[in-house]
Amino acid sequence: MMPALAVSRRTRSTPFTSRVEAMGVKAYTVYNHMLLPTAFKGVEEDYWHLCEHVQVWDVSCERQVEITGPDAEKLIQLMTPRDLSSARAGQCFYLPICDEKGMLINDPIAIKHSDSHWWLSIADSDVKLLAKGIAIGMQLDVEVCEPEVWPLAVQGPKAEELMTRIFGEHVRDIRFFNYRNLDYRGTKMLVARSGWSKQGGFEIYVNDSEMGGILWDELFSKGEDLQVAPGCPNLIERIESGLLSFGNDMDYGDTPLECGLNKYVSLTADINSLSIDALRNSTPRHQLVGLVCQGQQSFTAMGVYMQELCVGEITSYAWSPRYGVTLAMARCSNVALETDVSLTVNSDAGVQTVVLSRLPFNFNDLGLIAHEANQSKPVSGKPV
Amino acid sequence: MMPALAVSRRTRSTPFTSRVEAMGVKAYTVYNHMLLPTAFKGVEEDYWHLCEHVQVWDVSCERQVEITGPDAEKLIQLMTPRDLSSARAGQCFYLPICDEKGMLINDPIAIKHSDSHWWLSIADSDVKLLAKGIAIGMQLDVEVCEPEVWPLAVQGPKAEELMTRIFGEHVRDIRFFNYRNLDYRGTKMLVARSGWSKQGGFEIYVNDSEMGGILWDELFSKGEDLQVAPGCPNLIERIESGLLSFGNDMDYGDTPLECGLNKYVSLTADINSLSIDALRNSTPRHQLVGLVCQGQQSFTAMGVYMQELCVGEITSYAWSPRYGVTLAMARCSNVALETDVSLTVNSDAGVQTVVLSRLPFNFNDLGLIAHEANQSKPVSGKPV
């Protein structure tokens, strides 16, 4: 059973909280000192709906760290090992943010407004304080702040249809990880084709709380025939899709090279990044991998074992109703990755053998067959 | 009714979580990305118990930012406008942490181990990232990290008695906001006379999770006759005592001079602090004040009004069973403080007139009489 959450001013509400509660939010987490819904009808029911229809998500907790001024791009480049020299306004970039040792501090989506104006749409750590500290220490000519922006995500296969009903046909022209500033009742809102699912969709960077409420209501009234529903980042969907969660699957104890984020680290580029030298000289000590476990498991401890030896740690897991297995992400030491000995984990059904996988999972290679919603037959993990 | 909290690896558990749950924790908040209990028997019952007996609090979420190296003290002084030149090892210091504009970023207890070794026992923001940023930017010779330390607080009038049964009679010699490194079963633990209540007590900086569990159990077995109970920072007690909560009563939008923290800002000292010039030149735009409202109120909005004009915002509030009134903290504009017009707030019982007070509340001056537990008679805020 879930514990209760004591809400206060410190666990900030959003312009959409009253609507989210009226629509039956079941649970929250706290993310960037702000409420983030985690379930409406239930994680599994929400999952099937997300994969088939369209959902509106209150992801206001994706706070923006706004960096403006002549040194804005310089500061962003200092914080990330990804080469930004060819970045253009209108684009979004997934960026590892790393310290001088190459350790991860966050993994935002960066939004380039112009050379002198960037947003970092952050995961759960106070990147603003790192940016402020570096700017103060280096006397950079920038302003760092957290503007009043509350992203709304519209996700799912019918997201594009719903978005065109609100913002017009040119929504269809926005390419993946690109954005446009679109008019909504006289207010310009940044709309990006992005979002924390693989079901397709958009993020609307709402910059006016009252207009945000009107927009929310219109998304629901215009999407009724599309079966629009409130939703939130879905644990099952994001694990099936191999989307990593900072603080869960990776944290200050990992380099991006230990999390499969190699393509976002420009090891050979000539860039002025705090972390690049450390990353060039680093040797990964572990890797983030996928684990597949038969049946619907509830793990009783997070260790991953090779015989008696603990060789890893489960960082997230969920029952996949589509594939009929429990999928986990785990941080495993190199020894676990190079062995022929089978790996095991502990669930309330006893010791379970797991199959190691790359991330994202390749279900074909794993020999797993997809079920549709009405075929889903959870297999008990308990010995019969 | 409280919403549910979805717990994950990101909302970190503590070495005491299993014990806290076995003892019936009713709700959590998330603080520094970690679980913090907020009630056991209920906030009011916990309150009376705290004021009469002794409680053990899992405040592991008071994370330590450890700064070591030749420039450690320099970095700490840069981050705070409080003069640290006379700080000695063995002492604790309440420090506003401010940015270059004098705006609050945190209000930790600093613990000086030596000139080259400090801990900041932080409130809810990632001070580690600010410290890292400044250190990187200024090329300071320091290491910044978050060590494996999980504070346990022992609070209440019988705390000293319980602590001597564990650590010996020399616990009594520890003065307020001083600490000693004491032996516990062969492990040295830092023990300070401090804690987030005004009922007296200690904080034990547990640095070994297994030993922490043994210590927890011993506190309960040796405190049985003292009616020891699990507890947590108590909303009623901390508001009655005027203890401010960063993120609730003050945040990035306040200077310490706007929160009554003047005595922790060394305006006339010759210190190398990032914020001191800005604070010297600042004019407070608002103040954090107390509000007293008759009856047991449930506020329906957080605004404070002078006739039609919104002149402030309630930041925290609680029913005080001891004084039979609702006590609030509020951020009020200067105009609200200088008026003779009465201020009002909105509760589910309608518009309520409030009495303005300094913080901490002076109940004598306010003409409020203290009741003991068995005399407590909540007065309905609803019109009869």
Q: Do A105 and B129 touch (CB under 8 A)?
A: yes
Does residue B22 belong to the interface with chain A, where contact is any CB pair within 8 Å?
Answer: no
Q: Are strands B109-114 and B92-94 parallel, antiparallel or unpaired?
A: antiparallel
| B-contacting residues in A 71-130 (Cβ below 8 Å) | 99-100, 105, 124-127, 129-130
State the fold for domain B64-145: Alpha-Beta Plaits (3.30.70)
Task: Give pLDDT tens digits along chain B (384 positions).
Answer: 799 999 999 999 999 999 999 999 999 999 999 999 999 999 999 999 999 999 999 999 999 999 999 999 999 999 999 999 999 999 999 999 999 999 999 999 999 999 999 999 999 999 999 999 999 999 999 999 999 999 999 999 999 999 999 999 999 999 999 999 999 999 999 999 999 999 999 999 999 999 999 999 999 999 999 999 999 999 999 999 999 999 999 999 999 999 999 999 999 999 999 999 999 999 999 999 999 999 999 999 999 999 999 999 999 999 999 999 999 999 999 999 988 889 999 999 999 999 999 999 999 999 999 998 765 544 444 433
**What is the tens place of the pLDDT at every residue in B132-147?**
999 999 999 999 999 9
Q: Locate CATH 3.30.70.1400 in chain B.
A: 64-145
Give phi and psi for A52, each to the nearest 5. Answer: -115, -25
Which residues of chain B does CATH 3.30.1360.120 include? 17-60+149-239
CB B110 within 8 A of CB B118: yes
**Gyration radius (Cα) of chain A, Å:** 21
Distance of alpha carbon B15 from alpha carbon B211, whole angstroms: 10
* B17-60+149-239: CATH architecture: 2-Layer Sandwich (3.30)
pLDDT at B340: 85
Task: State the pLDDT at residue A120.
Answer: 98
Name the A residues in 250-279 with CB < 8 Å from any B CB.
Answer: 252, 274
Taking only the tens place, the pLDDT of each residue in A277-295 is 999 999 999 999 999 999 9
Chain A residues in contact with B316 by the CB 8 A cut-off are 8-9
Distance CA A243, CA A123 (A): 13
For residue B207, with 0-12 CB atoms within 10 Å meaning exposed, 13-18 middle and 19 or more buried, which class applies?
A: middle
Query: What is the amino acid identity at position B105?
Result: I
List CB contacts (< 8 A) between B142 and chain A. none
DSSP labels, A292-323: EEESB--BSS-EEEETTEEEEEEEEEEEETTT
CATH entry 3.30.70.1400 includes domain A65-131: yes
Q: Which residues of A touch B21 (CB under 8 A)?
A: 3
Q: What is the CA radius of gyration of chain B?
A: 21
pLDDT at B373: 76
pLDDT of amino acid B379:
45
Portions of chain A given CATH number 3.30.1360.120: 17-62+149-239
The DSSP bridge pattern shows strands A150-155 and A109-114 to be unpaired
Q: Considering the domain A285-384, what is its CATH architecture?
A: Beta Barrel (2.40)
Q: In CATH, what class is A17-62+149-239?
A: alpha beta
Q: Is the pLDDT of residue A384 over 80?
A: no
- A126 and B126 in contact by Cβ < 8 A? yes
Number of H helices, E strands in chain A: 9, 22
Give percent of chain A with pLDDT exceeding 90.
94
